[in-house]
Amino acid sequence: MIRWLRPTDSRPDLQALGCIGPAWDQPHLLTWGQTSFSQRMPTAVLDPVGPVQPLPPGPSLAFDRLRFHDPLLDRSIDAQTFLDRRLFNDGLLVMHRGRVVHERYRNGLTSSDLHVVHSVSKTLTTMMVGIAVGEGRLDPMAPVAHCVPALAALPAWSTVKLQHVLDMASGIDCDEDYRVPDSMYWRYARSVGYAGGGEQAEGALAFLLANLTRSSEPPGTRFNYASYLTNLLPLALEHSYGQPALELYASRLFGRIGAEQRCEINVDSQRLPIVEGQVNLTLRDLARWASLYLHEGRSLAGEALVPPAWIEATLAATPARLAAFTASDASQRFPRGHYANQCWVVDAQRRRLAMLGIHGQFAYLDLPAQLMIVGLGSFPVQVAPLMTASLQQLWAVVSAEVGAG
């Protein structure tokens, strides 16, 4: 059952500190901004179901003794400085072979606090698409307009398949630029109510139908990261199952991972779940959900949830995916990888995946090594080469320390 929260100004005293809606992502306010979206946007609450699935402890990782190469100063620095001043990390959890070997919180965050995971949401919620594909409810090679009928009125979408949307290679003319205040992204953000006022805003689908109307290239030609596309997926799920996508996320995914705390998913004015970035979880529940990809689609309790074939399809470095990814700037960040099913494949040959979100949210998974590193962060800007380089350094050092490098 879904509970609903209306936006509320629950801390009037925060206004004196400058904590008002549009300022949520200012660097000095991110601690508040990323843990308070239910105060600004309508919110669906998914409560935990059944017994909590333990995260068993393992041999402690001597994290404080680790040294990291600082990409900024080109020298070795200590772990605490690296996490505090290069990644601006709020919480870090490492699981190896099914056991927690490190868990720590920073910047005022605690283990019971919900934190928005931004675009990590894409991979988490798209697992439900994998379930739908496995059950024959959705066909990735079908035109996306077949399962989102509103797109049928736009000729540019006539040749776009669901798989093109899943792989961010739609060929639709759009961009995602966080640096320009009046860019398409920030106009979208206002339309779904990121800064408040969402109950009066037009909503995600209306924004897409008004702004993503032209083709820039044939579908499948080039990877072009565009968060707007992800919000089509819950509409496709609703069309195929005949029930709200939020109910599917609750009953088929979140309700079966043995969560400790509730999950909050922010919605727009039409109650469409904004799954491109607005899932809010504790660090420990993020680990439980992300670990489905580490265990062939099974929960920590051993229940089969996501079809293994979906995970294998995500890892598949097909020529078309590789060509589309190589045609984009993203290939410079992950030269051995690609993007598929709303997931970053860091190294297809070594079976390493990452779920990534702005401001330093991530879940890194090395499948053969049974290693998962999950983190929440407040990096001062949305994306930056320094953040990406620091994340890769973190993954490499921790992997080497546990013998998975």
Per-residue pLDDT tens for 184-220? Answer: 999 999 999 998 876 678 999 999 999 999 999 999 9
Whether the pLDDT of residue 238 is over 80: the answer is: yes
- Average pLDDT of span 148-158: 97
Global pTM reads: 0.97
> Which residue has better confidence, 358 or 11?
358
Q: What is the mean pLDDT of residues 12-35?
A: 91
- Three-state SS letters, the chain: CEEEECCCCCCHHHHHHCCCHHHCCCHHHHHHHCCCHHHCCCEEEECCCCCCCCCCECCCCCHHHCEEEECCCCEEEEHHHHHHHHCCEEEEEEEECCEEEEEEECCCCCCCCCEECCCHHHHHHHHHHHHHHHCCCCCCCCEHHHHCHHHHHCHHHCCCEHHHHHCCCCCECCCCCCCCCCCHHHHHHHHHCCCCCCCCCCCHHHHHHHHCCCECCCCCCCCCCCHHHHHHHHHHHHHHHCCCHHHHHHHHHHHHCCCCCCEEEEECCCCCECCCCCEEECHHHHHHHHHHHCCCCECCCCCECCCHHHHHHHHCCCHHHHHHHHCCHHHHCCCCCEEECCEEEEECCCCEEEEEECCCEEEEEECCCCEEEEEEECCCCCCCHHHHHHHHHHHHHHHHHCCCC
Statement: residue 9 has pLDDT above 70: no
Can you give the pLDDT at residue 167? 98
pLDDT of 1 above 80: no
Which pLDDT belongs to residue 176? 95
At 96-151, the pLDDT tens digits run 999 999 999 999 999 999 999 999 999 999 999 999 999 999 999 999 999 999 99
Q: How much of the chain exceeds pLDDT 90, in percent?
A: 93
**Rounded average pLDDT over 156-171:** 98
What is the reported pLDDT for 198? 65
CATH number attached to the domain at 40-401: 3.40.710.10
Residue 12 pLDDT: 78
